[in-house]
Structure formats: structure tokens, C-alpha cells
Amino acid sequence: MREPHRTVSVSSVSSVAKNVTLVAAAAGALLAVACATNPVTGKREISFMSEAQEIQVGRELDVETQREMGAYDDRAVQEYIDDIGQRLARNSHRPNLPWHFTVVDVPAINAFALPGGYIYITRGILAYLDNEAEVAGVLGHEIGHVTARHAAQAYTRGTEAGLGLLLGSIFVPAVRPFGDLAQTGLGVLFLKYGRGDELEADRLGAEYAGKTGWEPAAVPEFLTTLGRVEELADSRGVPNWLSTHPEPENRVEQIQTTVAQVKTSNPGQQWSVNRDVYLNHVDGIVFGDNPREGIVRGNSFLHPDLRFALEFPKDWDVTNGKEQVVAKMPGQEAYVLLQVVERPQGRTIEEIAARNMQRSGLREMSGGATKINGLDAYLGTYQGSLGRIGGVTMRAAHIQMGRSVYLIGGFAQPQLYPKVEQELAGSVRSFRELSRGETDNIRPNRIALYTARASDTWQSIAERQGRGNVKASTLAIMNNHAVADQPRAGEKIKIVVGE
């Protein structure tokens, strides 16, 4: 959850969306019957976007991507990833594009591409890659989506479908309380590709990596790792790689033919893996939430910059989005939501609450001014309908802290609400201000390097080094092991160290 002054306004997003949509619409109108040669296949095909328009669309969306997600603040890591990407791009089918490679400050496990040569990889995925060759495979895959014009075609399909900025229903409208909760926290641009496109991008990734000297077998290796991630629940924030790149298990088998062909075509080639080089670059990177956007610790959400804390119901799934923080009851339509009230209207907290909830379409059943942990608040019970969830009953508090007003709403479908009312009310009333001493002690989890000893297990390492902040299964998968494996004595591994 970002600070109020960093929020992307709906008007600015809509403006950019409108401009970019007009570009795509113009491209479609002008080029609907035009043909161009696909740079990868060499075949003539209908082209909905010229190369210049691809670059323009990518450049405009890059501004919003970086504003919404933020580049990871580590120059050495950024330069390292950019160097790998640029080397791959020079050996791709479109070396003359203005390629850009950015590590975005997102904990989810993902990588994605925009038209025109804009490639992004999350810091979250870096913890799960085992060596430099795997990074090359991931970046090569995303480069393939651009070189084969998958990104341009998918973008055009999305704009023609009336999705505006498309790409996954981005930018939750924070000025509208209780926006589409199914999309909350998905603030990322994800183009939707078909299975054929994904398989082609896998093949191109292996080919580009091999052509540049990296071990092409790293592609099925990272696909195997990301297949194991599917069983984890640690990748909060945005959809993980599996949500946008389906069926990794089958693709592991499919890519083996390409790997064999690349190796057969280059007899005697010494393939680079560069594991130690890679591990040294990821040593110290933030793992999980960045405290600047708030951090989840167990069932607590702590925001040291905004100086507040909130307790969510135990074992609920928490998504820390840029505009909203949402906890969801597993398997049930029950939620607790936290967000800043943008441009609050009213002279008193009661007026602010009334006008804000009126905009949401929820009607007040009862309520009154109160104090919540010493802060002025208005606490009410509401009923109404919220998007895909349908009818809900809600307990919501508007709380004044400094110059900001926070909305904390606990809600569920009417038949479920009585069963979870106590948990929801407790969470709503848990909002409190953090002391300066508490905020100073909040530190992010980070990746560190460790040499395994004969007596080590993933469980013992997780308990000793991570202080319970990371699962043993997560550590295993991060280090290219199956969950049932154990670390080998003398093996250099990535661990997570707590505050």
C-alpha cells in the first residue's frame, strides 16, 4: 500500500489509457488489411501495429508501469539484469528495437513484456532462479513475445475488446471504495497469450540463450522450479508467473526438443551457467514485501512510513496492493479491506464517512462517532452490493490519523456475515498508530547466502535463519530442489534472513 501522495489518479491513468487506446484504434483502422513479414517465422501475416507504433505504445505504458510498480532501488542489480537482456536482444530476431530491461519492486514471481521492447522482471522471481542461465531463459522468453509480435497482437486484441489499458484490468480505482476486489492488488500489465504463443516464446528463449552462450537446458530447469511454486501461497502482490504462463509441466517436455537441437547445432560449445556470479548479485535483495509499501508479518500489516498497524484474522490470505490491502477468508467470500480515502469530503469524520460510503452504493444501517485506539473514527454497519461478490453486510470504520483518513471494512455475504462478524469487527478495531520506536525496528526480509552443513534441513534453516518468516518448502524450491529433498552438505544456498 503506497503513501497517499504517490497514488496514481484515475484521471491520469484514464488519460494515458485513452491516448494509448487511440493509438491502437488508429493502428487497427489503418492496418486492418495490411500485411507484414513476421520477424520470427518469415511468414506474411496481418499486422495491426507498425514497429513505430509498437514502440510508442510500449513507451507510454512503461511510464505507468514504473509509476504503478516502481523500479527496484538497486543500481547494481538493475545493471546486471539489463546487461543480460541486452546481450540476448542483440541475438534476437529484432536487435534494432530500443530494448529496455527493468527489475520492478514487486514480491510476486513474474516477468512480462510490453510491445516495442520493454521487458520487466520482478525482484520476487529473482529469489527463485538458481543461476544466470535461468535468468537468460526467462528474459529470452519475454523477448520472444516481443520479437514474434505476440505482445503487439495481444495488446491490440485487448484494446479492440474495449479493455482500455487492458492487460489484466490494471490500476484498481482507489477513489472508488470497494472496487473490483477480484482484481485488487493486480496492479501490473499482463498480456494474455495463447498456448501456441507460450510454446513459441519458450523455444525462442532457449534459442536466444544458447546463441548468446548460456546453457539452454536452464529453460526447462526454471519451468520445473516455477511449476513447484504453484503449491506455495507466498507470492502475494500480483499474479505469479503461473497465472499468466500456463501449464509449465507440459512445457518442460515440449522444450526438451529445442534444447537438444540447440546443443546439436553447436558441438563443442561451452555453455555458461554462472551460478556463483548470479548468487552474488542477488545476495541482499529484499524478499517479500518492501516496508516502503507496508509489510505483512503473520496476520499483521505494518506500514512504517505511514506509521500504522492492522491485525487481520488469523490464516486469512493477505494481498498488499498499491492502493488497497485485502485479507480474504480461504474458500469463503469474506474480506477485510484497508485503503486511504482519496480526497475526503466533509468537515467531520462523520460527514467524510457518509459521503464516502454513499459513493460506494452501500446504505448505513447504524453507526456513530467513536475512538479507535485513541484515534477519531466513525464506525458503522452497512448493507448493499459489491461487484462480483454481490450482496454484503459490512462493518466499516473511517479513521482520522494526521492528515489522512483510512477506511477499514470487514464484510461478507449476508448468510456468512454472522459467522465471521466477531473476526471482522476485531480486525476493524485493531487499527492503531505505530510509535517511532516500532517503525525504526521494522526491516525487510532479505536474501542471504549460506553454506549448508551435514545436519541442516530446510526446516531447521527456516526456523534458525528466517525466524519463521519463510517456509521450509519455499527454501527448497528457491534452491532448485523438490520439496522432499534436503540440502547437500557444502552446497551454497539462498536463505531468507529476518529483521
pTM: 0.75
Distance (Å, whole) CA 462 – CA 479: 13
Could you write out the DSSP letters of every residue in 234-284? Answer: ---SS--HHHHS--HHHHHHHHHHHHHHHHHTSTT---B--HHHHHHHHTT
pLDDT for 302 beyond 70: yes
Q: What's the burial of 268, exposed, middle or buried (CB within 10 Å: 0-12/13-18/19+)?
A: exposed
Tell me which H or E stretch contains 300.
strand 300-303
> How far is 199 from 88, CA to CA, in rounded Å?
18
pLDDT at 157 (0 to 100): 66
Rg of the chain over CA atoms, in angstroms?
A: 24
DSSP for 8-30 reads PPHHHHHHHHHHHHHHHHHHHHH
| Sign of the four-CA dihedral 310, 315, 321, 326 | negative
The reply to whether 295-440 and 445-497 are identical in fold is no
CATH class assigned to 445-497: alpha beta
Distance CA 451, CA 491 (A): 5
Q: Could you tell me the CA-to-CA distances from 36 to 33, 41, 45, 198 in Å, in that order?
A: 10, 11, 6, 21
> What pLDDT shows up at residue 6?
36
- pLDDT digit string (tens) for 181-231? 444 333 334 566 778 888 899 999 999 999 999 999 999 998 888 888 866
Q: Mind listing the pLDDT tens digit for each residue in 21-58?
A: 444 444 444 444 456 677 787 677 666 678 899 999 89
The pLDDT value recorded for residue 318 is: 83
Lowest mean pLDDT among 26-35, 106-115, 208-217, 430-439: 26-35
CA terminus-to-terminus distance, the chain: 20
Containing H/E element for 114?
A: strand 111-114
* Residue bearing the bigger pLDDT, 105 or 248: 105
Could you tell me the residue ranges of all domains in the chain? Answer: 4-287, 295-440, 445-497
Instruction: Encode 215-254: b = buried (16+ Cβ within 10 Å), e = exposed.
Output: bbbbbbbbbbbbbbbeebebbbbbbbbbbbbeebeebbeb
Question: Whose grid coordinates read 482507489?
Answer: 174
The superfamily in CATH containing domain 295-440 is Mog1/PsbP, alpha/beta/alpha sandwich (3.40.1000.10)
Position 394 scores a pLDDT of 96
**Confidence tier at 424 by pLDDT (50, 70, 90):** very high
